[in-house]
Amino acid sequence: MIQSKAYVPLVVVGKLTDYQLKVQKFIEADLNRLEVFFLSQIPDDELAVIYQMAEVMVYPSFFEGFGLPVAEAQASGCPVITSFTSSLPETGGDAAWYINPGKPGEIGMAIEALLANPDRCETMITKGKINAQRFTPENFATQLKQLYNLVLND
């Protein structure tokens, strides 16, 4: 087993759901195992700060239309572990660590391995910031303009 930091709290950001309430009850039953903070209704400007404070962002989704949290975390300088499913590999590019979202053990091993390897984290941060530039409003506007010009000139 890889030795990692002794204490890393889990921060879950998102809308309050019935599933989240079930997870909270499970965690409360054994507070000695985990420390989890559930945050909802976080303004966008504060979300970047949360990403910047994080050791790693884990996004084990089964399906995504785009994967905006992956791009946001990368833009904020946070290493990303995400699923190899749906659009996430396209969004994360070569700057994310990909896992099977249906295998919790694989997710845990990826977290431990990343936290134990600061050099890999730094590489992922550097690549992530470069990758996230593909999704800036300026780049989107440029690409949209190119598309319009292509359509008009055909």
pLDDT digits (tens, 9 = 90+) for 91-150: 999 999 999 999 999 999 999 999 999 999 999 999 999 999 999 989 889 988 998 999
Q: Where are the domains of the chain?
A: 10-153
- Enter the pTM of the model: 0.84
Summarize the confidence of residues 78-95 as an average pLDDT: 96
Least confident of 30-34, 49-53, 62-66, 146-150: 30-34
Looking at 4-99, which runs of residues are DSSP E strands?
Answer: 10-13, 36-39, 57-59, 80-83, 96-99
Residues facing residue 1 across a β-bridge: none
Residues 6+ positions from 151 with CB-CB distance below 8 Å: none
pLDDT of residue 24: 82
Structural fold of domain 10-153: Rossmann fold (3.40.50)
Instruction: Say if residue 17's pLDDT is above 60.
Output: yes
Q: Rounded CA gap, 149 and 154, in Å?
A: 9
